[in-house]
Amino acid sequence: MSEDQLETLIVQIISGAVTTIPSYLEEIKENKEVLKVENPQEFVYGIVMGMALGMGGAVLSAQKEMPTLEDQMRIRDIVYKHIPEIRERIFN
């Protein structure tokens, strides 16, 4: 998979993940006593980052064998490049 294809795919994954932000924040608000989350926005940030990093690796796994360390670093670099946008969507 080319770098451009991988980035396009990861941007799509991030876009899908950020659409879940309002529902996650509402879920945390409604279940505050059970979840015991002190900072809902940081918690959701972790969820979104995990989704982006994990699904990027899963997609590569479906394309070929398990992602190599180099593949994982490529995914990480692409996701990290979009951190400002992700944080803006969660914290603003």
Q: What are the pLDDT tens digits along the chain (92 aa)?
A: 777 888 899 999 999 999 999 999 999 999 988 999 999 999 999 999 999 999 888 887 887 778 888 888 999 999 999 999 999 999 98
**pLDDT of 24:** 93
User: What is the DSSP annotation of 69-81?
Assistant: HHHHHHHHHHHHH
Token pair listed for 44: 């959701």
- Answer whether 57's CB lies under 8 Å from 19's CB: no
Rounded to 5 degrees, φ, ψ at 26 are -65, -45
Contacts (Cβ under 8 Å, ≥6 apart) of 15: none
**pLDDT of 25:** 93
